[in-house]
């Protein structure tokens, strides 16, 4: 009993290709919408830049991920 299973799967469509295109389209529409929203409300947002910069500092420290860079002490084993 020898069954050829390759012929059954050749007609199946790849659902991941269509979902990737949909996700890409949604991201692009979001970026375009964000650009126009920023453009229209720039005068309101420009006054908050110093506060956003100060808010970014603790977030960068929180998400920096200390410990992934190896030893910075210069201990290469040579004396």
State whether residue 52 is helix, strand or coil. helix
The pTM score is 0.43
Which of 46 and 74 is assigned the larger pLDDT?
Answer: 46
Task: Write out pLDDT tens, residues 6-62.
Answer: 555 555 555 578 899 999 999 999 999 999 998 998 888 888 888 888 988 888 888
Q: State both tokens at 45.
A: 């947002």
Give 4's contacts (C-beta < 8 A, 6+ positions apart): none
DSSP 49: H
pLDDT band at residue 2, thresholds of 50, 70 and 90? low
* Whole-number Å distance between alpha carbons of 39 and 36: 5
Please give the structure tokens belonging to residue 13: 């469509």
């Amino acid at each position: 009993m020898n069954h050829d299973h390759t012929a059954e799967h050749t007609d199946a469509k790849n659902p991941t290709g269509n979902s990737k295109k949909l996700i890409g389209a949604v991201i692009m529409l979001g970026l375009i919408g964000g650009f126009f929203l920023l453009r229209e409300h720039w005068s309101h947002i420009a006054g908050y830049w110093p506060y956003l910069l100060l808010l970014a500092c603790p977030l960068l420290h929180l998400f920096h991920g200390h410990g992934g860079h190896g030893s910075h002490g210069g201990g290469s084993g040579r004396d």
